[in-house]
Amino acid sequence: MLDTYGWSETLQNLFHGHAARGLIPGRVTVQQRGHYRLVIEAGDVAGELSGRFHFEAEATGYPVAGDWVACTPPADAGPAMIQALLPRSTSFVRREANDGRAQVVAANIDLALLVASLNADLNPRRIERYLATAWESGAQPVVVLTKADMCEDAEPRIAEIAAVANGVPIHAVSAVSGQGIAALAALLTPGVTAVLLGSSGVGKSTLVNALAGQELMATQGIREDDARGRHTTSHRELVLLPGGGLILDTPGMRELALWNADTGLSAAFGDIEAEVEALAERCRFRDCGHGKEPGCAVRAALESGELDAERWESYGKLQRELAHLDRKDNPAAQSEARKVWIHRQKAMRQRAKHRDAED
């Protein structure tokens, strides 16, 4: 049973210490408001956090769907008590909107299927944000564009996303006509775990049903007035597909705030970074900030269209978001940022005085 859900020799080696304590391994298949379902060697069981584990776990240390845990074997009809969390091979993390803390959305995933609908709500900027977070997670991102049957002219829209995907595979699919489903299913080989990530109403649950060949998840349509979706999935659930792959459905995310995604950002915008690095060699000043400095080759490339202005602006926006998060959580960074701000303000005042003196 555990092998079917991705158990490996690496995990077995990590588990030796827990086995010596009489614990057994399990994988979290459902996580919903503190309640868990686990797959253990004997089958599917309910799971609960032990009091000690609950007390000692940090915010990102609580189990989520996809996690491997060490638990006490269930007695009679009781739950398996989760005692420890095994190290994660990958984790998809976002920043919570309410309190700004890290939230692990999915763990131990191999493929991050970034789902968007081929309708009026398709947004390349949102795809870039998802790509940065997916690359940071350690999983391989794949862009999945759903509802291809409802788009009269899909090719330009697919090309628009390809322009920002930076080489990431793109699959246009339709659960209604079956277009692209077989090609997507071919990625989900036995033991491979994929997670579906995207906004509400893009068709994640419908896609799970199409891949499973049966109605496993409840589904809803989208609103006609703005092409946006309504929440259907209310919890995270790991589903075993007929072909042996595993797919994790997640609730739609209204927003995806970045969390420590510097590496992922560089991977998502590798093309922009390479172009800017080459252009910077032609800037008049070595320390050019690519703002309003004279002789800036980057600004010239933006004005001529040689450098994609929307991609450049998006890259800068996400960089600023990460920098703000770093300053917020890092007192030293806050202090340095204040020094830079003070220096800039003094320089501005000096320039203003100089202009006044000339006038």
18-58 pLDDT per residue, tens: 999 999 999 999 988 778 999 999 999 999 999 989 888 86
- What is the model's pLDDT at position 341? 42
DSSP 332: H
Does 279 have pLDDT greater than 70? Answer: yes
Other CB atoms within a 10 A radius of the CB of residue 167 amount to 9
Q: Read off the pLDDT of residues 43-101 as tens digits, 9 standing for 90 and up.
A: 999 999 999 898 888 656 899 999 999 999 998 888 999 999 999 999 999 887 666 78
Q: Are 103 and 76 in contact (CB under 8 A)?
A: no
Q: What CA–CA distance (Å, rounded) separates 247 from 192? A: 8
Lowest mean pLDDT among 203-212, 281-290, 346-355: 346-355
Hey, what amino acid is at 125? R
> What is the number of alpha carbons within 13 Å of residue 15 lying toward its C-beta?
18
- What is the model's pLDDT at position 355? 46
Q: What CA–CA distance (Å, rounded) separates 212 from 243? A: 9
Q: What CA–CA distance (Å, rounded) separates 288 from 76? A: 70
- What is the model's pLDDT at position 276? 94
102-106, 297-301, 337-341: which has the highest mean pLDDT? Answer: 297-301
Q: What CA–CA distance (Å, rounded) separates 47 from 52? A: 15
- What is the model's pLDDT at position 56? 83
CA 246-247-248 angle, to 5 degrees, is 125
Task: Please give the CATH architecture assigned to the domain spanning 262-358.
Answer: Orthogonal Bundle (1.10)
pLDDT, mean of residues 309-315: 95
Q: Are 48 and 42 in contact (CB under 8 A)?
A: no
Q: Are 145 and 158 in contact (CB under 8 A)?
A: yes
52-56, 225-229, 258-262, 282-286: which has the highest mean pLDDT? Answer: 282-286
* Nearest Cα to Cα of residue 227 among 162, 146, 139: 146
The CATH 1.10.40.50 portion of the chain extends over 262-358
* Rg of the chain in Å (alpha carbons): 24
Q: What is the pTM of this model?
A: 0.83
Cα 291 versus chain centre, distance: 30
> How far from 265 is each of 16, 273, 337, CA to CA, in Å?
36, 10, 21
- What is the model's pLDDT at position 57? 82
- What is the model's pLDDT at position 318? 92
Average pLDDT, whole number, for the chain?
85
Q: What CA–CA distance (Å, rounded) separates 137 from 352? A: 47
Cα 59 versus chain centre, distance: 18
Answer whether CATH 3.30.110.40 is correct for domain 3-85.
no
* Nearest Cα to Cα of residue 241 among 285, 221, 211, 271: 211
* Percent of residues, the chain, with pLDDT higher than 70: 84
Strand-pair category, 102-107 with 91-95:
antiparallel
* H-run or E-run covering 302: helix 297-304
Q: What CA–CA distance (Å, rounded) separates 22 from 3? A: 20
Lowest mean pLDDT among 78-82, 162-166, 238-242, 327-331: 327-331
Residue bearing the bigger pLDDT, 122 or 58: 122
Confidence of residue 260 (pLDDT cuts 50, 70, 90): confident
The CATH 2.40.50.140 portion of the chain extends over 3-85
The CATH 3.40.50.300 portion of the chain extends over 91-249
Q: Which CATH superfamily is domain 91-249 in?
A: P-loop containing nucleotide triphosphate hydrolases (3.40.50.300)
Confidence of residue 226 (pLDDT cuts 50, 70, 90): very low
Cβ-based neighbours of 78, under 8 Å, separated by 6 or more? none
pLDDT, mean of residues 129-152: 93
Q: Are 64 and 104 in contact (CB under 8 A)?
A: yes
- What is the model's pLDDT at position 15? 97
Cα 180 versus chain centre, distance: 23
Strand-pair category, 43-49 with 35-40:
antiparallel
